[in-house]
Amino acid sequence: MSLLTQGSPLFQGCLHSANEAAELSRLEVRLPPLLGMIAGMVDFTGFFTLGHIFTAHVTGNIVLATVVAVDGGTFRWAQLLAIPVFMIALATVWLIAQASGRHGSRLAQLLLQVQFLVLLILLIFSVITKPSADPAGVNADAAATMAVSAMACQYALLRLALPGAISTAVMTGNLTNAVLSAMDLLAARNRLLPRDSTPLHHSLYRLLSFILGCFVAAGAVLLMGDWAWSLPAALAGLAVAVR
């Protein structure tokens, strides 16, 4: 009797593995451009309305704080606190992922829901308290904490659930991949990048989606004020529905 008959556990396991691999492959293609736009919107909106805090490129806050320390200006503890907040949020997401027992596409769906929930709470909080009215105030610091936490969830999602997808927020890496991939494509021979490196169009999609998110957020902030957070929240909700 064959072990791979249609109703056998081994056959069902192989079918499940094949379906899971196919779904992961689809998510790795479809999600990053959307997540890149969310990251661009969150980074620009946070920087522009919450007192010059990078909420996606969190390490940039170290540079900003150092410039203030050396060159003078108003020091903001929130810029330095963004780093430990990001680390704590990452650890929290890891604990959520571990407790859920999920992997692959099911874990991706869970973490997308967490990101959406955090951005939705941020939107509600911002509409009620209007943190942009006092970018150096406690409400702005609280909003920045939520924004940084949402981005930590996105970073963790890509590392834990979609390891085949490249970063949606580290634009230096995507720009590097794009330029080096373009140089390799133009080279007639002696290409330098490994064959399994990130394709040019993938890096360009991430780069352009982040830039587009920044431009859309710029218009939203000017026209909508604190309601500008509704755009990344809406896109995060759309990301949950991606299959």
Q: What is the mean pLDDT of the chain?
A: 83
pLDDT at 1: 46
Neighbours of 29 (CB within 10 A): 13
Q: What pLDDT does residue 30 have?
A: 82
pLDDT at 11: 43
Residues 165, 163, 237, 40, CA torsion sign: negative
pLDDT in tens, 108-125: 999 999 999 999 999 999
Pull the structure tokens for residue 52. Answer: 């010059």
pLDDT at 194: 65
Instruction: State the SS3 of 28-94.
Output: HHHHHHHHHHHHHHHHHHHHHHCCCCCCCCCCHHHHHHHHHHHHCCCCCHHHHHHHHHHHHHHHHHH
Torsion from C-alpha of 107, 110, 114, 115, nearest 10 degrees: 70
Other CB atoms within 10 A of residue 213 CB = 29
Pick from 95-99, 168-172, 181-185: least confident: 168-172
Task: Provide the residue ranges of all domains of the chain, joining segments of one domain with +.
Answer: 31-241
- Mean pLDDT to the nearest integer, 1-25: 57
Lowest mean pLDDT among 17-21, 35-39, 48-52: 17-21
State the Cα–Cα distance between residues 55 and 144, nearest whole angstrom: 7
